Amino acid sequence: MYVNATFGTQLNTKLEGEIVELDIYSSTKGGTSYYVYIDNPVRGEILQLDVSKRHFNKLKEGQQYSETWKTGSLGILYR
């Protein structure tokens, strides 16, 4: 992730769509990840976004999502 976010071209990418699923993943090593899945009509796919717990708790399925993320040099979205 460091290389993706540090080197090369970084593009602002507006992500918009309906939230179709919210998911929490707890690993056996004690970490927890919070995922938001949005139906993004521009890309024609469901996007999985890894968000903070604070951000996750403000979202609901069926809600419209619209935020700007960055696309790094490896083509990976990040915030």
Tens digit of each residue's pLDDT (9 = 90 or more) over 6-49: 999 999 999 999 999 999 999 888 799 999 999 998 889 999 99
pLDDT interval class at 61 (50, 70, 90): very high
Element (H, E) at 56: helix 53-56
Element (H, E) at 22: strand 11-26
Q: What is the pLDDT of residue 42?
A: 83
CB atoms within 10 A of CB 70: 14
Number of domains in the chain: 1
> Is pLDDT larger for residue 12 or for residue 79?
12
CATH number, domain containing residue 8? 2.40.50
Q: Which domain holds residue 64?
A: 2-78
> Is pLDDT larger for residue 60 or for residue 79?
60
**Structure tokens given for 22:** 């919210």
